[in-house]
Amino acid sequence: MANWCGRRLRFNRHDTKHTKLMTGSFRFHIGAFTCYSVSDGTRTYPAKAFFANAPDDVLAAALARHGQSAELVTPFSSLLVDTGVSCLLVDTGTGPVVDTAGKLLDSLRGAGYAPEAVDTVVLTHGHADHIGGAVRRSGQPAFPNARYLLTRAEWEYWMAPAMLLRAGESRLQPTRAILDGLKDGLRLIEADADIAPGIRALPAPGHTPGNIALEIESAGDRLVLIPDVFAHPLHLEHPDWNIVADADAAQAVATRRRFLERLALAGTLVLVYHFAPPGLGRVVRQGDVWGWEPIERL
């Protein structure tokens, strides 16, 4: 398939009412790297989970403008990068606990990759919709030949004794159980670590203390994968609206604004984990805020 960054691309306004949410994979290239946006499926969340501090009337008007209601069907799009030397997966979806999700392994197989082919799994942060597919129902790693990478700050956040008081048993236990199942293959990294040639972590704290984005570069092409710095196109129009799960609301807003400014300035190709499949597009400056220009086809 042709290189995304070396072709003229057609952009369309984001209209999720007319965007088909699908499972499967979408192939593209970053230089010499073959990449896939790989779907784990979807889950429905109340809009307030994404915009906790938004005024109700303003939020309702914004959702109506995007053809959406107070219930949002939210995708989970992992990234597979085949460098020719290494096969790296970023985030693993929510796993089999949701009947509309847990499709990641099927999507990978549809792209021609068995779980055994993945040698590195990067977990951007510890929320269950990003790490739930890292282990099977048996508790064994879903990618048996992989090393699993998580930032040291993220590990310390979830394992701190005080976390039980902050998060509660129901939220904390699933993450701790998954990380425990990965302990033999888990490696702790710094938030700005070089992960592989052409692939490095970018600190993105706020949603969680150790949250990271990923930058992929090859042959002059560049892609940035964004986890929950922004989780819906409305976060570009309203960067001060917080996700309910943001651990540090003020820091999350500062990180969001920093990424939006830099991505728009550079015209960088972006893959957003929770945006409509394949999740690819660019951030553009629109006056005092930003907008999303999705790439839907070549």
Mean pLDDT of 180-186: 91
Q: How sure is the predictor about 12, in pLDDT bands with cuts at 50, 70 and 90? A: very low
- pLDDT band of residue 137 (cuts 50, 70, 90) is confident
Determine the Cα–Cα distance for residues 94 and 127; give it in Å rounded to an integer: 9
Looking at the DSSP bridge assignments, the partners of residue 34 are 29, 82
**So where are the chain's domains?**
4-297
Summarised one tens digit per residue, pLDDT across range 237-294 is: 999 999 999 999 999 999 999 999 999 999 999 999 999 999 999 999 998 899 999 9
pLDDT at 99: 85
Q: Which residue has the tokens 């290239």?
A: 29
Question: Residue 92: pLDDT band by 50, 70, 90 thresholds?
Answer: very high
- Half-sphere exposure for 142 (CA within 13 Å, toward CB): 24
- Does CATH place domain 4-297 in 3.60.15.10? yes
CA pseudo-torsion sign 51, 56, 59, 60? positive
Q: Is the pLDDT of residue 4 over 80?
A: no
DSSP designation for 242 = P
Is 199:214 a contact under the CB 8 Å cutoff? yes
Does the structure show a pLDDT above 50 at 16?
A: no
Residue-wise pLDDT for 186-216, tens only, equals: 999 999 999 999 999 999 999 999 999 999 9
Q: What is the mean pLDDT of residues 230-239?
A: 97
